[in-house]
Structures are given as C-alpha cells and as structure tokens.
Amino acid sequence: MSQSALVIVSGGQTGVDRGALDAAIECGSPCRGWCPAGRRAEDGPIPAKYPLRELGSADYADRTRANVRDSDGTLVLSFSRYGPGTQLTADHARRLNRPLLNLDAEATEVASAIDTILEFIARHRIGVLNVAGPRASEAPGAQAFARAVVTGILRA
C-alpha cells in the first residue's frame, strides 16, 4: 500500500512540524498548511521552502485550529507530556470530531510508530494528515523523530 497520495499538513514551527514537512518534501509528497502572519516561528520567519499559507493573524492558536480543520485526521507526536499548543491541537480535533492519534515518541520506536500510523490512516481513510507536536525548544529530538516517522509512512 503506497501512501504517495497522502497530503501532509503542518504549521511550520520548529520540531515536529518541520520534521513532517521535511519528510514530505524529501519524498516528493504533497504538503501544505497554515502558518501565522509573518511566517512566525520560534527561530524567526519560517523558511520559504515550506509551502505554507499565511493567516491574517500572528496567533499560533489560529494556525493550529486551521490546520486541524483542513485535515481528515491529526497525528500528535508527544514527548511524555502535552505542551499548551499540542493540547490545543488535540482538543480542537476532538471538538471537530476528527480522528486523532496520539503517540508518545519517548515510549515508541520508529518502526512501531509507522505501523500504528498506517493502521490509523487506513481505518479512518485519511487523505490529508495534520502532523503536530512540540517545538524544538520543548523536545530537542522531535524534528528528527517526526522526519523519520513521516518518511516511513510515505514510503510504505
């Protein structure tokens, strides 16, 4: 089963967001998402290589809600705990009754995570997957883990 038609959505923040987008770009898979006005992120403006649309608002919460809304389901890669942005993502997915998968990256191996995500995608017939989780300053290994996992699902 190829996931080549799967669209990856993320907001461009450092950490999980960029890891997911990097994987999609490297695999030649479609990706997109909303980002705050000014392409705001913790390390400065989000690089232009990420195909994101700017919202009129610079508020991270508005970006989060738009990406959940515009996806068929959401994958949250957490690292033992939810930060406020990750919690907002999960809460908004539940509020919209969208499929939500939370994986604790600190308790899950990459290969196991890939299998679990592929089952989630198939069970919920997800064509557009929002990938969210902590920024790099909150979880230093988040970007590499997200990149490995999303690469794995796109190449499956």
Please give the pLDDT value at position 1.
41
What separation in angstroms does the CA of 69 have from each of 19, 31, 135, 140? 21, 15, 20, 27
Please choose, from the candidates 74, 76, 121, 108, the residue with its C-alpha nearest in 3D space to the C-alpha of residue 93: 74
Other C-beta atoms lying within 10 Å of the C-beta of residue 28: 8
Please give the pLDDT value at position 43.
98
Domain harbouring 38, CATH code: 3.40.50.450
Q: Is residue 147 part of a domain?
A: yes
Please give the pLDDT value at position 51.
98
Please give the pLDDT value at position 3.
58
Q: Is residue 63 part of a domain?
A: yes
Please give the pLDDT value at position 4.
59
List average pLDDT for each run of 10 residues in the chain, which is 156 residues long: 79 98 98 98 98 97 98 95 88 98 95 98 98 95 98 98
Expressed as residue numbers, the domain containing 115 is: 7-155
Q: Is residue 2 part of a domain?
A: no
* Residues 6, 90: Cα–Cα separation, whole Å: 21
Q: Is residue 37 part of a domain?
A: yes
| First vs last C-alpha separation in the chain | 6
Q: Is residue 143 part of a domain?
A: yes
User: What is the value of pTM for the model shown?
Assistant: 0.96
Q: Is residue 77 part of a domain?
A: yes
The tokens for 85 are 């942005």
Q: Let me know the angle formed at the C-alpha of 83 by 136 and 32, rounded to the nearest 5 degrees.
A: 60
Q: Is residue 1 part of a domain?
A: no
Question: Domain count of the chain?
Answer: 1
Q: What residue has token string 């400065």?
A: 44
How many CA atoms within 13 Å lie on the side-chain side of 13?
25
Q: Is residue 60 part of a domain?
A: yes
User: What's the gap between Cα 8 and its chain centre?
Assistant: 7
